[in-house]
Structure formats: structure tokens, C-alpha cells
Structure 1
Amino acid sequence: MRYARTAILRGSIAAAADELNVAASAVSVAIDQAEEAFGITLVTRARAKGISPTSAGRVILRRMEDLLDRYDAMLSDGAEMRTSLSGVLKIGYYAPIAPAFLPKIVKAMMTENPGLSLALEECDNARAQEGLLGGSFDVILFVSDAPVPQIVVERLIHAPTYCLCSAGHAFAGRTSVTLSELADEPLILLDRPVAKSHYLDLLESSGKPVSVVATVNSTEMVRALVGAGLGCSMLNMRPAPDLTYAGDGTVCLPINDSAGGLALSLGHVPGPRRRVVQAFAEACHAFFETPEGQALIVDG
């Protein structure tokens, strides 16, 4: 299984042989033996192009990794070694303010498990799900409005949509605003999948024409433009500081006549999970139940 796993991950029998310090024929035989044992084709082979996993091969790869993790833990000496986490945890995330919470979630895991490393990739919602199903990610953080059916979804937190205005705006002294009032303002929209259409649907429900003065694909740029006084915006999660990169103040206000919001969720594939994925999921749930996690949303 180690030989077959390494070959699949490297996409090459020769590269796997170099890494494992064995003959290429040994890796090739191992793949043949694995395919015979499972009764399915795990990889397709092409001359000069290496190998690539079949759809069944990707499923078996995850199960092999889980088995090898458990096997390594069983062989470790002492209770501390048996419970430690190791290897690479690959996380794909579609969460514009992930830097506000993800480091806090993984810090304890990293500190307590020196053998653990992370591979983080910011992506859009579709890429996150495709990467999970394709084996690029072990787990994803994403907006679960319409998840791919093959993905197991665990909701972490519901984030109501709120209004963002500058500290000098007339709204800043208020406790809330309405959709109708917001529709009268020049608007700066976050142009990211799922988010933009969600905000436009909410604004259209006010029955008023809206004036979008800028669309931006970065949450921090949205905050910077709002902080500079160029308009108001709508977002769902907020970072801890009210100041933008430019040093301008912003204010977050509930929208009191809107039930709209987006759910931040964990996604993983069905079946047994690696211990490190389970530990990460538990850490995420625990964090969003704390006051610090709840402070990331604006709830009227």
C-alpha cells in the first residue's frame, strides 16, 4: 500500500521508486498486487506521461492513507506517540475572512503535534468541492448553499448578512438599518461566487433600484473602499478589527428586515476519516461555539 500510495500521489512509478529508494519494478508489482487484491483498476498508465488514478483509485487512496495512518500509530511506542497527529493536512477554503479564525483553530493542533504540517489553499466554492472529490484536499471550509451530493456537510455557523459602512457615515450611529435604506446608498459588492448573487437577491427584494459603484473580489478591498467613504456594502462574517488596511474605521450593522445569510460549513468525503481530519473538524466546531467564534457574525 505504501508503494501504491506513493506512486499515485507522485503520478509516476519512477518518481515513487526514487522517493522510496527501491527499484521501479517493485513499485509496479506493488500496484499490480493492490489491483488484484481490490479487484479493481487503481491507475491508468501511459508511456512518458506517468500514471493517474481512476475514480475508484482516488477512493481507495483515501482509505489506504487512513489505514496507513492507523498502522503507523499502532506501531508507535508510548501513549503519547499513539495519540499524536502527523503528516500533511490539506485544507481548501472558500471563506473570505478565514485569516481571522483559521490560524486560531489550527494553532493548538500544530503546537501539540510537531509532526503535523498544513497545506492551505484559498479557492472558490466550486474549486473547493472539486478539490475535495479529486483528492487535492482532505477537508474543506465552504458555503454549503448547494453542495455536491457526494460531499458530507457539517454546518459550523450561520452568518446573517449585515451592512458595512464607514465610521463617518450617517448609519454609523444607528443600531440597525433596513434593506430599503441600504438600497438608497451607493453600493460596493463583493464579487465572489455565491456571495454576489445572494446580496443582489436581497437588494432586489427591497423593490428599489440599486446603484452599484464598484464590484471587488477581495473582502479587504471592499472594507477599504467602504472605509474610505465610497459607499456601503453587505458581508456575512467580520474580522476582529474595525480598521481597514488604510487605517479607516468601519461599522457593522444588522439588517433588521432581512432573514438572509450564508452558512459556513465543513465538507469531507463519506467513509472513514483520517484522525487528523477528525481532530480538525472537532476543533472547528469547538471554536465556533465560543464567544470568540460567535463574535465573527453580526446578529441583530
Structure 2
Amino acid sequence: MSRPLNFRQIEAFRAVMQTGTTTAAAAMLHTTQPSVSRLLAQIQSATQLKLFDIHKGRLRPTHEARQLFETVQRHFLGLDRIEQSVAVMRKSGAGSLRVGCTPALGLSVMPPVIHAFSRRYPQVHVNLQTVGSHALREGLLYGLYDVALTTSGISDPQIEAVPLHRSDAVCVLHPGHPLASRASLHVRDLKDQVLLTLNADDEIHQQFLGTLQQHRVEAAATVETTYSVTICMMAAQGTGIGIVNPYVASVFARDLKVLPLRPRCPVEASMALSPQSAPSAIAEDFVGLLKAYFRDFGKGKAL
């Protein structure tokens, strides 16, 4: 009755079939010639098959040996593919990173962070989607994003949002604006000014509107828009004074005057990971780069 074969026996048989001698097979396997001969004897005993004879000083495989070798090669081809796949994942994680964020953070935070990430992992495919907070929440729940970043809250019991940075909203205005020379602006300074704000459902706008009402400040006019970048572009044209998060304001710092707003209007950048699966090694490294960016935000340091 035949006995089960072990991996060492199969490996020795394959090496002999490939090299033609036990000496060459031993060199291939980094072992000794007697060890290979012993394994060959074991495999012939275990299978109860004649696999080789000696012909002109070389091992000559039988028909049964060639049939067995075809089966073994298919097995090792599968192992080689597994090893190649493991090597790729070891080098570049899952091979792709899917990131979602709000548009303002896509313009300001993501370019330097993804640049640093791509230099570290040049072979990883990165998919960055800039969407609203509702789409971020849905994307996380359905496993569409590995990492999400937002300045709006993500309210869902399945999603754990982690604060990365706390700051305050700022005023952006043309350098030639009459108020541009101030060190900061109080909401009372905004009376009778043209204000550039985000839409009414935005958290920054809601806080700012409450502060205006608290101090009984009325604007001359209001221009409402969906994107912070549009506010900054209009402020650069001299259209009015914009209220935005400090991250997008930093992108336009050369063209705009950026002033603190008083009383403060808190802004929090938070991150969430997909609850559908554990984060990959590259996702964890990406999170580390995000944390480094926010740690150095405003200090003029590059990642």
C-alpha cells in the first residue's frame, strides 16, 4: 500500500527531473547529494513505482516519472503564482488605495499627501474621489473607500470618525480690500460687506450664520456657493469677503489675505476607515502621512 508523500520528497523529485542528476539537484536545493538520493528512495518506496533507472551514469526517468512530473509541475506553478502574489502585496500592500474626501480637502490636503505616498509606493494605484459628506458615508459603508477625510461630521454607528486636526474658519479677501490690513476680523467688521459663503447646509456656514445673528450683523449682500475654492476665487477678484476652512485658504495664501475670524468658528478635519475590512498596510501608511500633514500644518514643512 502506498504512503502519502511529503513536500521535501516532491521537491527533490522535481529537482532531479529538472537537472538530470542528484548532484545538480542537491546544488539547486542547497542540500547534499546523499540527502537527495535518500529522498528519491523514499518517494519510490512510498509510491511503489519505479521512477528512474541508471543509463550511462545518469538517472533516466520512466514513463511513470514523466507523468508524475507533469502533475508536480502544475502544483509548483500554482505555488509560484502564490509566491509572486505575496511578493507584490509585501511590496505594495493590496496594490491599490481608494480615498474619498470633500472637495476642499481634495484641493488642499490630498495633493501633498498623495505625492508623498506615491514616492513611497510608486507601483500602487491610487483612486481619489472628491464627494460630499453623504456620499463619503455611503462609500465607507459599501466598502468603496479605504480611507475618507472630511470637515463635516459622518454620523453612522458603524463608522468611527477620528479627529486629525482642529482649527478655525478664516476670512479670505483681496489684498487691496479696506479691511485687509487688520490682524483679524470680528463679525462686527463684516457689517454692510458682501459676504461669500457656502450653502446653508454646510456646517461652517451654519456656525457663521449663528454668530452673525448673535451679534446682529447684517451683510450688504451674500453670494452663496457649493465649493470653498469658488469662494476663494471670487475673493481674489475682489467680489467680497469669504468664510472658508483654513486648509483651502492655505492654497490661495499668495493671492489672498487670510485673516482669523472672531469669535472663532471651529473646524475639525476627521478621518474614517472602511468598516467592511481591516486596513491594509498601505492604508495605515497613508493615514500616517495624513497625520504628519496635519501635525505640520501651518509650519511650512513638507512631507
Q: Please tell me the TM-score bracket, short chain as reference.
A: 0.5 to 0.7
Q: 1:255 aligned to 2:249?
A: no
1:267 aligns to what? Answer: 272
* SS of residue in 1 equivalent to 2:251: coil
| In 2, Cα distance between equivalents of 1:235 and 1:252 | 10
Q: 1:85 aligned to 2:93?
A: yes
1:210 aligns to what? Answer: 219
Task: Classify 1:250/1:197 alpha carbon distance in 2 versus 1 (closer, same or farther; 3 Å).
Answer: same
Q: 1:181 aligned to 2:189?
A: yes
Contact 2:137 2:154 in 1 (8 A): no
1:234 aligns to what? Answer: 243
2:287 aligns to what? Answer: 281
1:115 aligns to what? Answer: 123
Task: Classify 1:211/1:129 alpha carbon distance in 2 versus 1 (closer, same or farther; 3 Å).
Answer: farther
Describe how 1:1-300 pairs up with structure 2 within 5 A. 76-77=86-87, 82-145=90-153, 147-191=155-199, 193-237=202-246, 238-243=249-254, 249-256=255-262, 258-270=263-275, 272-290=278-296, 293-294=297-298
Deviation digits for residues 192-224 of structure 1 (CA, Å, limit 9, x no counterpart): 633332332232222223344311222222122
Q: Structure 1, unaligned stretches of length 5 or more?
A: 1-71, 244-248
| In 1, Cα distance between equivalents of 2:111 and 2:270 | 17
| In 1, Cα distance between equivalents of 2:143 and 2:134 | 14
Deviation at residue 183 of structure 1 after TM alignment? 3.6
Task: Classify 1:99/1:144 alpha carbon distance in 2 versus 1 (closer, same or farther; 3 Å).
Answer: closer
| In 2, Cα distance between equivalents of 1:124 and 1:170 | 34
Letter in 2 for 1:294: G
| In 1, Cα distance between equivalents of 2:185 and 2:204 | 20
Worse overlay, 168-177 or 95-104: 95-104
Task: Classify 1:157/1:111 alpha carbon distance in 2 versus 1 (closer, same or farther; 3 Å).
Answer: same
Task: Classify 1:107/1:213 alpha carbon distance in 2 versus 1 (closer, same or farther; 3 Å).
Answer: same
Deviation at residue 83 of structure 1 after TM alignment? 4.8
Deviation digits for residues 154-184 of structure 1 (CA, Å, limit 9, x no counterpart): 2111130111111111111110111111243
Deviation at residue 122 of structure 1 after TM alignment? 0.8
Alpha-carbon RMSD across the aligned residues, in angstroms, is 2.7
Deviation at residue 260 of structure 1 after TM alignment? 1.6
TM-score with structure 1 length normalisation?
0.64
Q: Structure 2, unaligned stretches of length 5 or more?
A: 1-81
* SS of residue in 2 equivalent to 1:137: coil
Q: How many residues align?
A: 216
2:69 aligns to what? Answer: none
Letter in 2 for 1:190: L
Worse overlay, 190-199 or 99-108: 190-199
Deviation at residue 73 of structure 1 after TM alignment? 8.6
Letter in 1 for 2:187: L
Letter in 2 for 1:265: S
Task: Classify 1:73/1:233 alpha carbon distance in 2 versus 1 (closer, same or farther; 3 Å).
Answer: farther
Whichever of the two has the greater Rg, that structure is 2
Contact 1:97 1:219 in 2 (8 A): no
Task: Classify 1:151/1:74 alpha carbon distance in 2 versus 1 (closer, same or farther; 3 Å).
Answer: farther
Deviation at residue 295 of structure 1 after TM alignment? 5.2
Deviation at residue 280 of structure 1 after TM alignment? 1.1
* SS of residue in 2 equivalent to 1:149: coil
Contact 2:93 2:280 in 1 (8 A): no
| In 2, Cα distance between equivalents of 1:215 and 1:73 | 56
